[in-house]
Chains A and B, each alone.
Chain A
């Protein structure tokens, strides 16, 4: 191993020290490194002064020659030739390599160009196909539009025919209606004339019966007051007989009462039930509980109002 000079070692140490100093961020280390730097520099100066002085060894300008044999010469020549050959071979090999590389590069360039052409061709082909498709589509749309126009034209024609037909029918209907209306009006007119005549006749009859009517009204009023009076009497008798069962609020039952002209009960029948047997029974018993119903002596009024009547039992 080669022995290094002390100066070299010191420089290396200095570099190492510097490296270590610059690797840290602490300012204190920077100061220390500067100090160390200074010390080392001083040491370097000291070491330079203590080294030995350089001796000058000047050699004379002369040619040194040596005698060699023929064989040696031959050997040397063959060696030189061999070396030259080797150099030539090497040059050739390098040339060859260079050529090969150049060839490779050329081939590569050729291939790249080929690929580019291929791609361009494909793109062109694609573009062409797209153009053709668009053209096809355009033709199709045009065809459809044409068909649509044709259809619309036909529909319009059909509609027009229908409209004309409807107009014709409407015209016919109107004519028919007009005929009918005229006929109806005529008939109505006739009827009105007849009704007016009849009304005139009725009014005549009414006027004639007016005196009689006044008498009847008086009789009716009397009859109504008689009815009211007997209704009140019957109601009071029934109320006295009705014992409303508990929890009857909201219930209602309707009875049909048949009386004899003497006021005695002929029959009682439930015509609308409440749904509660006890309640219905209580109403029926109330109706039956009246021994004799107060009824008018006038047979006509009895027959008209009190022969058969209804009673609704619904506690308020």
Chain B
């Protein structure tokens, strides 16, 4: 009996000895991570076509994951790790500080940028690089720094060096419009026109190698699908069947396009093998089937169909060709696009009298409206890191491009050059 009491006493002693207090943290701050991007020191005072540190700060701010401290609030402007007074930055509530120096070589006609990312709390340098570029390459170089900073802090690859393609529409005369196909950096800057026409252009899709665009154009007098090489501008017609030729989208391996054709009498989904030009009809229904896009593994397509009476999103395995309805909330759900990991589906959803971008979790079937504050939202396209969605929305009288994070947490508009901006498509990673 005594032994038993001693044994339990010993157990209690052990328990108390190892019962270290454990605090469970399951939530985080709603605010973005504070980062100070210190203006890069210009060693020599030479002219610089772009403010590299400002581009980096804007990139990080736009991502929605960072809150960049305005330079006016900085207590000091360190150029490198040794000059950082951690107490100052801690007082300012900053988690990270990005410092940098910029030099220009007359000999090579190139700028050299050395930068360092410093963790204020652990007081350690977590990233440092020396990069160089010509005057024209400075913007690209700035995006590269943004990508590196974003990835080392969040663990997710940045998309600041990617591109977007979109269409602008300008009313020239009462009956004449000008349609332009643009390609620009992901921040909307550095854009150029790849193709223009007085006839409508729609449904842009990037090939997964980032080298080609597929789209629908009416410039030959009738709807047709074209593929255009982004760098050379070389354009070729892929289909021009009688009736609708639209909504092309590249397969994950770039070997085929999925598209909508009405050559057999009704709008149906087809795949076109680009090496053999062989068509494969996927849908066969008297309802309208359109706006198909591929799942990341290339085994399924999702598309819009009004076979139930109203436009809804359906999924189909391209082998068994059996459609399965995915959306049941609301009377209008269209233009579906998969997330990069295939776990979510983004689409246009009508609710409260407006059209919004919504997401559905493929596992839980939980629906989340991401853009409740904008209306007439169209054409969602997911960023290659799966964190952002670009779409077009009505702002004032014109449609503009907007970006929202996949959790709906942050949102921003891209600057509009002129007229309506429509049909955005986010490129894949380009390097």
Mutual binders A and B: yes
Q: List A244-277 residues whose CB lies under 8 Å from chain B.
A: 244-247, 254, 256, 276-277
B387 near A314 (CB under 8 angstroms)? no
Which residue on B lies nearest to A192, using beta carbons?
Answer: B1
Q: B29's contact among A192, A241, A247, by CB below 8 Å, is which?
A: A241
Residues of chain A within 8 A (CB-CB) of B25 are 235, 238-239, 242, 283, 286, 311-314
Q: Per a CB cutoff under 8 Å, which of A199, A256, A309, A310 touches B1? A: A199
Check B119 against A285 for contact (C-beta < 8 Å). yes
Query: For the complex, is B329 an interface residue (Cβ under 8 Å from A)?
Result: no
- Assuming A247-B156, A276-B155, A277-B155, is B23 touching A309 (CB within 8 A)? yes
Instruction: Report the minimum CB–CB distance from A261 to chain B (whole Å).
Output: 16
A5 to B22, CA, bound (A): 150
Cα distance, A243 to B65, chains bound together (Å): 9
Q: How far is the CB of B370 from chain A (nearest CB, A)?
A: 15
* CB pair A309 B20 closer than 8 Å: yes
Give A293-315 as 1s and 0s: 1 = Cβ < 8 Å from B's Cβ atoms: 00000000000011011111111
Instruction: Assess A239 versus B153: contact at CB under 8 Å? Given A231-B23, A309-B23.
Output: no
CA distance A209 to B42 in the complex (A): 78
- Whether B95 pairs with A198 at a CB distance below 8 angstroms is no
Of A198, A306, A316, which is within 8 A of B27 by CB? A316
In the complex, what distance in Å separates the CA atom of A314 from the CA atom of B27?
8
In the assembled complex, how far is the CB of residue B68 from the closest CB belonging to chain A, in whole angstroms?
14
Q: Is B33 an interface residue (CB 8 A)?
A: yes
Contacts A239-B29, A243-B29, A277-B155 given; does A285 touch B23 at CB 8 Å: no
Q: Which of A183-242 contact B (CB under 8 A)?
A: 191-192, 194-196, 198-199, 202, 227, 231, 234-235, 238-242
Residues of chain B contacted by A191 (CB below 8 angstroms): 1
How far is A131 from B14 in the complex, measured between Cα atoms in Å? 91
- Inter-chain CA distance A314–B28, complex, in Å, is 10
B82 at the interface (CB under 8 A from A): no
Binary A-proximity of B380-391 (CB < 8 A = 1, otherwise 0):
000000110000
Interface residues of chain A: helix, strand, loop or mixed (majority): helix
Q: In the complex the two chains form, is A308's CB within 8 Å of B95's CB?
A: no
The 0/1 profile, CB within 8 Å of A marked 1, for residues 162-176 of chain B is 000000000000000
Residues of A within 8 A of B121 (CB): 284-285, 288-289
A291 CB–B CB distance under 8 Å? yes
Determine the chain A residues whose CB is within 8 A of the CB of B156 once the complex forms: 245-247, 278
State A212–B53 Cα separation when bound (angstroms). 68
Range class of the B interface residue count: 20 to 34
Asked if B20 and A316 sit within 8 Å, CB to CB, the answer is no
Q: How many residues of A contact B (CB 8 A)?
A: 47
Residue from B24, B153, B386 within 8 A of A312 (CB atoms): B24
B21 touches A284 (CB 8 A): no
Question: Considering the chains assembled together, what is the distance between the CA atoms of A22 and B21 in angstroms?
Answer: 130
Task: Evaluate contact between A195 and B28: CB separation under 8 angstroms.
Answer: no
Query: How far does the alpha carbon of A242 sit from the alpha carbon of B26 in the complex, in Å?
Result: 10
Q: How far is the CA of A110 from the CA of B65 in the complex (A)?
A: 127
Q: Which residue, B24, B33, B152, B386, has most C-beta atoms of chain A within 10 A?
A: B24
Assess whether B28 is in contact with A246, with CB atoms less than 8 Å apart. no
Within the complex, the shortest CB–CB distance from A235 to chain B, in Å, comes to: 6
A278 to chain B, nearest CB (A): 3
Nearest neighbor of B151 in chain A, beta-carbon distance:
A278
Tell me the complex Cα distance, A245–B2, Å.
55
Residues from chain B with a CB closer than 8 A to the CB of A242 are 25, 27-29
User: Is B255 in contact with chain A by the CB < 8 A criterion?
Assistant: no
**Complex partner residue of B65 from A231, A246, A316, CB under 8 angstroms:** A246
- Distance, CA A308 to CA B23, complexed state (A): 12
Q: Are B26 and A315 in contact (CB under 8 A)?
A: yes
Of the candidates B2, B5, B32, which one forms a contact with A243 in the assembled complex, judged by CB atoms under 8 Å apart? Answer: B32
Q: Is there an interface contact between A195 and B122, defined as CB atoms closer than 8 Å? A: no
B322 in the interface (beta carbon within 8 A): no
What residues on A are CB-neighbors of B152 within 8 Å?
278
Query: By the criterion CB–CB under 8 Å, are B28 and A243 in contact?
Result: yes
**Apart from A235-B23, A284-B121, A314-B26: 4 A-B pairs, beta carbons within 8 A:** A195-B1, A238-B25, A245-B155, A291-B90
Q: Which 5 A-B pairs have the closest CB atoms?
A: A278-B155, A195-B1, A288-B121, A244-B28, A309-B21
